[in-house]
Amino acid sequence: MNRVLLVDDEINVLEGLQRKLHPERLYFECESARSGAEALERVKQGGIDAIVSDIKMPGMDGIDLLTRLKADPATQHIPVIMLTGMTEGDARRLTLQLGAYDFVAKPADPHELSARLRNALRLKSYEDRLRTQNRTLEEQVFQLQKLEVIGILAGGVAHDLSNILGSIGGHTELAAIDIKENSPAWNHLQSVMESVDHAAKLARQILTIGQRTDTGRTSCNPGAIIDECLRMLSASITPDLTVDWDNHGLDAPLWADPTQIRQVIMNLCINAVQAMDGKGRLRITMKVQDLDMVAASDIGEIPAGRYLKLSIADTGHGMDAATKSRLFEPFFTTKGPSRGTGLGLTVTEKIVHNHGGGITVDSEPNRGTTFHIYLPVKSATQPVLNDSDGVIYARAEAHSVR
C-alpha cells in the first residue's frame, strides 16, 4: 500500500484533505504533518511514497521542504505535489523548477488531487523499477569488465605457459636421446613428457575457450569434449564431490562448433559444482535418441529426428518453479555477485538453439537439478573428416573421478 504524507499548518485543511482522499483508501493511505520540519522528520523514517504540501507555512515552508527533499539522494525521488493559491504564480513556477511533480490549486478538487496523486505514484513505481534495473545492469557491466580482464590475463598466461612448456618438452626429448631406453632415468623423462603434454593441452583449451570468434563447425566428438572439460574442472572437484561420466562408447559425432559445445558443457558443469557447495554427485550421461514430432515439440521448436541427448545432473539444492521460469533470462542469477553474471545459461540456451537443438531442465527444491541437452546427430550428407583433419573418435569408457 502506498503512503501519502499531507503537509499543512492548518488542522482544518488537513482534515479536509483526509476526507477528500478517503475514497482512495484502497489505493493509498494518508498521514499528516503540521509543519515542514515535522514532515521532513517523518520522511526520513522511510515508507513515504508521495507528498502533498502547502507552500505557505510558518518556519520551514513548502519551498524549503521541497528544496531539502530534492537535495537529499535518499528522498529526491519522492514526488511532491504543491498546494498553491491562485495568486501564487511565481511560487508555482519556482516549485516546478525545484523539482515538484505538480501543483493543485486551493481549495483542492478531490477528483483532480486523486488523479494527480495516482499519476505521481504510478510514475514513481516505473522510475523505481528503472533505477533498480539500471543498478543491476551497472553491477553486471562491472562483473563483465572484470571477467574480460581475467580472460585477457588468462590468455596471456596460457600463451606464455605454452612457450615455457615447449622449451621444457624440447630439452626433455634431447636429454632422452642420450639415455638408454627403458632405464629408470628414461622412464622418468617419459613421465615428464606426459605431464608436459597434459599441461600443454590445458593451456590450449584455455586459449580456445577465451576466443572471441567461432572456430567454425566441424565433425566433433562430444565425448572427447566432455573429457577435456572434466580435466579442466578437476581443480574444482573436492574430495567430497564425485563425478560419474559414462559415454557407453557412443560413436555419435556432431556437426558443431567444438568451442561453443565446450562452453555449454563447462557452463552446466560449473553451475552443478557450485550448486552442491563442494559435496555431492555430478552425473553426466550421453545417449542417442530418436524423437518423433510429439517428443520434439515437448522439448522446443526442433524437428523430429535423431539427437544426442546429453544430461548433466547434480544433487544440489534444486530450484522452485518461479526460479525455473526465469532460468534463461539475461542477468538473472541466484548466485552472489562474486559467483556469477547471470549470462551463462542465456548463452548456453542460445548456443544450443543455434545448433538446431533444445534444452530442458528438471529440478525441485532440495532434490537436485538435471539439464538435458538435445543436439542433432551429424547427418550422412555432412562432410566426414578423418583423424588427420582433427576428429577425435570416441572410445568406450566409464569411470568415476573423485
User: Kind and range of the H or E element at 361?
Assistant: strand 358-363
Is the pTM higher than 0.85?
no
174 within a domain of the structure (yes/no): yes
* CATH number of the domain that residue 347 is part of: 3.30.565.10
Q: Decide if 374 contacts 308 (C-beta within 8 A).
A: yes
Instruction: Output the pLDDT for position 402.
Output: 34
Same domain, 233 and 308: yes
Lowest mean pLDDT segment, chosen from 71-85, 140-154, 360-374:
140-154
Instruction: Output the pLDDT for position 7.
Output: 93
Residue 179 grid coordinates = 639415455
pLDDT at 50 over 90: yes
Residue predicted with more confidence, 130 or 200: 130
Same domain, 328 and 268: yes
pLDDT tens readout for residues 303-333 = 999 999 999 999 998 999 988 888 888 777 7
122 within a domain of the structure (yes/no): no
* CATH number of the domain that residue 40 is part of: 3.40.50.2300
272 within a domain of the structure (yes/no): yes
Closest residue by Cα to residue 66 from 33, 95, 30: 95
pLDDT at 75 over 50: yes
300 within a domain of the structure (yes/no): yes
Same domain, 197 and 239: no
* Rounded mean pLDDT, 169-185: 89
pLDDT tens readout for residues 178-236 = 888 889 999 899 899 888 887 887 777 666 655 544 557 888 889 988 988 888 788 77
Instruction: Output the pLDDT for position 146.
Output: 67
Q: How many domains does the chain have?
A: 3
Same domain, 262 and 301: yes
Average pLDDT along the chain: 82
CA-to-CA distance for 157 and 266, rounded, in angstroms? Answer: 20
pLDDT at 280 over 80: yes
Q: At what angle do helices 62-71 and 89-98 cross, to 10 degrees?
A: 10
Same domain, 49 and 84: yes
Same domain, 222 and 162: no
Same domain, 397 and 296: yes
| Residue span of the structural domain in which 40 resides | 2-108
CA-to-CA distance for 279 and 265, rounded, in angstroms? Answer: 20
Same domain, 168 and 51: no
126 within a domain of the structure (yes/no): no
387 within a domain of the structure (yes/no): yes
200 within a domain of the structure (yes/no): yes
Strand ordering across the sheet containing 2-7: 28-33, 2-7, 50-54, 80-84, 102-105
127 within a domain of the structure (yes/no): no
pLDDT at 389 over 50: no
Instruction: Output the pLDDT for position 381.
Output: 52
Same domain, 24 and 104: yes
pLDDT tens readout for residues 331-363 = 777 765 555 556 778 888 888 998 999 999 999
Q: 384 pLDDT band (50/70/90 cuts)?
A: very low
User: Kind and range of the H or E element at 281?
Assistant: strand 280-291
Instruction: Output the pLDDT for position 136.
Output: 78
Instruction: Output the pLDDT for position 91.
Output: 77
Same domain, 151 and 74: no
Q: Decide if 316 contacts 281 (C-beta within 8 A).
A: no
Closest residue by Cα to residue 82 from 21, 12, 98, 43: 98
Same domain, 234 and 353: yes
Same domain, 73 and 205: no
Please report, rounded to a whole number, the percentage of residues in the chain having pLDDT higher than 90.
29
